[in-house]
Structures are given as structure tokens and as C-alpha cells.
Structure 1
């Protein structure tokens, strides 16, 4: 089975497709100065774009890992997630609080999805 890597640099690829499975690197917002709602919206837009590149979509997400900087903002992030995933198959999901690579990153999302 082939492995296809997209948007690679010396350290990582944003998307790796192996067989009928797509693996996305952790996605973060474009605007680190935005609030958690906007950052979550931006992250999910990136996830959708990468899934489309892989030949997949949010209905085919198998698993999602959400890393959040501050659990006090969990409800705000969940409101965006719930609206985004509302009509889709609900993936297995984990959410953890952690220090981020940059101080203004509020949320990072990693997903694994089936390719259609």
C-alpha cells in the first residue's frame, strides 16, 4: 500500500494518507490573537480542507483529539465543535488540556479519517 504525504516540511506532513485512512497533523488557527471561538472555527476549516485533499470529509472522521490550552474555555470550543459536527457521524473523541507550542494558541485538533 502506498503512503502519500501532503504539505511536508523538514519535520512533518500536515496530511498522510495510507490506504483508506487519512491522518492529519494537529491543526491550529491562523490568527493566534483571536478568541477560542474564532480559533476553533479556523482550525475546523483547515481540517475540512485537508480532509477534502485526502478524498474525505467530516462525515468520515473516525477519531479526533482536541488539545485545549485552558479548560475554562472548553464550553466555548465545544459550542463550535457541536455545531460543526451536528449532522455528521460523531467520531470517537478525546480532549485534553496542555501547554501549547506558542502562548496564544488556544486549541489544536488532530483527526484520523476514512477516505471515501
Structure 2
């Protein structure tokens, strides 16, 4: 089975699909607050899911990386508006505090696994 890649560069792909499993790389975004970054990166996730022919109702699992757990509730406010709860499709997830992300300006990164 061939692996399908989305937005591939020499270093990485933003998403990879094998069969009906779609794995997105950790998504980050600019913004001054965790709320701004979360709103923007979740839009990026929506865009990648759409390019792969699926949507957020098919997200199976998410890893959420925060540089400060004090941002957990602010992130959850954005997340709760984004997930497909009206369709009964709230994914499993983990929230993990990390020392830092690849850029010191990033405060949140989200990686998802979805059904394609």
C-alpha cells in the first residue's frame, strides 16, 4: 500500500495517509496568546483534513503540547468550540506540558490522527 503525503518538503510532510489512517504533523501557529495560536492552528488542521478528503468529525486522537499548563483552560475553550461534539465525535486526547517547542514564540502544538 502506497503512502500518500500532503504538503511534503525535504524534511517532512504536514500529513501522511496509509489506507484510511491519516496522521498530521504537529501544527503550530503565530499569535500572542494560546487562544490566538489555538484558533489558527485548528484552522490549519481543518484545511489539512479537507485536503485529505476528511474533516474534524473523523479525528480519532489528538496530542496537545502546551509550554504552560496554566494555558490549559484557555486552550480548552477554543478546543471545545472546534470539536465536532454536536455530531457526537469528540476524539480521545492527551495534554502534555513541554519545556519548549521548536520556536520560543510557540506556546501550543497539536497533532492529530484521523480516519481518511
TM-score, normalisation: structure 1: 0.93
> How far is 1:100 from its partner?
0.9
Q: Which runs of 4+ in 1 moved over 6 A?
A: none
Post-superposition offset of 1:8: 1.2
* Distance across 2 between alignment mates of 1:74 and 1:110: 16
Aligned to 1:73: 71
1:54 and 1:47 map into 2 onto residues whose CA distance is 11
Unaligned runs of 5+ in 1: none
Which ranges of structure 2 fall in alignment gaps of 5 or more residues? none
Could you tell me how far apart the structure 1 residues matched to 2:115 and 2:6 are?
Answer: 16
> Partner of 2:86 in structure 1?
87
Deviation of 1:7 after TM superposition, in Å, equals: 1.0
Whole-Å separation in 2 of the counterparts to 1:16 and 1:69: 26
CA RMSD of aligned residues (A): 1.0
Equivalence map 1:1-116=2 (5 Å): 1-29=1-29, 31=30, 33-85=31-83, 86-88=85-87, 89-98=89-98, 99-115=100-116
> How many angstroms does 1:2 deviate by?
1.9
Aligned length: 113
